Structure 1
Amino acid sequence: MGGRAHRSEELDDCTVDYATFRENNDHTPLLKGLPEDRCQCPHTAPGTEALQFGPTLEVRPTSEAIMKNLQATQKASG
């Protein structure tokens, strides 16, 4: 998935994510494997740029699923 920049840092028990989406992409495949194949974290910033703060223990499963599915997508297309 191109057109995406992402940075994530853990601060104590909080995870801070900043993401920029430069292209329209369907992110649904990246959430496969999560309950209802959907992100379980609340989102406060929709749009092409997002700054999110969330409890690390709740954010971690979503981040791990996204990375696993992103790697599988890249292997399939490469």
Structure 2
Amino acid sequence: MPSASKPSTPVAVDLDEIEGRYAEVGEHTVAFETYKRDVDPAPYFAGLPDDRCQCPHWGYVTAGRITFRWPDRMETYVAGDAYYAPPGHLPLVTAGTSVVEFSPTEELARTMEAVERNLKAAAS
């Protein structure tokens, strides 16, 4: 059975805001993400339907706090909470937050294409 752990998964993203490690496990990607500062990544979802993340995520907060925003509500999770974030959300993350998150690999790839495009545009 395939598995992943934070120590055995190489760092794939190392930005001022986030360190991310990602491994495919079956049809899902497990993400080990640590946020170095407060992050509102809403601008990076531009170009996706409703300019919001359309990938569902199941996760567990190991430290800190993450808030998911939808047009009609907000949900906040803190260390020790498990969560499900259905499509159509925007995350808001505080510095020092770490999560372990599971997402369908194909849907995550479509989302990350837009995020990477927007990150490149912002850096220009």
TM over 0.5: yes
Specify the structure having the higher radius of gyration (Cα): 2
Q: Which runs of 4+ in 1 moved over 4 A?
A: none
Q: Return the offset for 1:3.
A: 2.5
Higher strand share: 2
The alignment status of 1:5 with 2:19, answered yes or no, reads yes
SS for the counterpart of 2:103 is strand
CA deviation after TM superposition for structure 1 residue 8, in Å: 1.4
How far off its partner does 1:2 sit?
A: 2.1
Deviation at 1:65, TM superposition (A): 1.0
Report the TM-score, using the length of structure 1 for normalisation: 0.78
TM-score by length of 2: 0.53
Offset of 1:24 from its aligned partner? 1.0
Q: How many pairs does the alignment contain?
A: 75
Identity %: 37
Matched, 1:59 2:73: no
Higher helix share: 1
Match of 2:92 in 1: none
Give the aligned CA root-mean-square deviation in angstroms.
1.8
Candidates 53, 56, 60, aligned match of 1:39: 53
Structure 1 portions without partners, runs of 5+ = none
Higher relative contact order (CA 8 A, sep 6+): 1
Aligned to 2:83: none
| Cα shift at 1:25 | 2.1
Distance in 1, Cα, partners of 2:112 & 2:32: 13
Question: Which 5+ residue runs of structure 2 have no aligned equivalent?
Answer: 1-14, 67-96
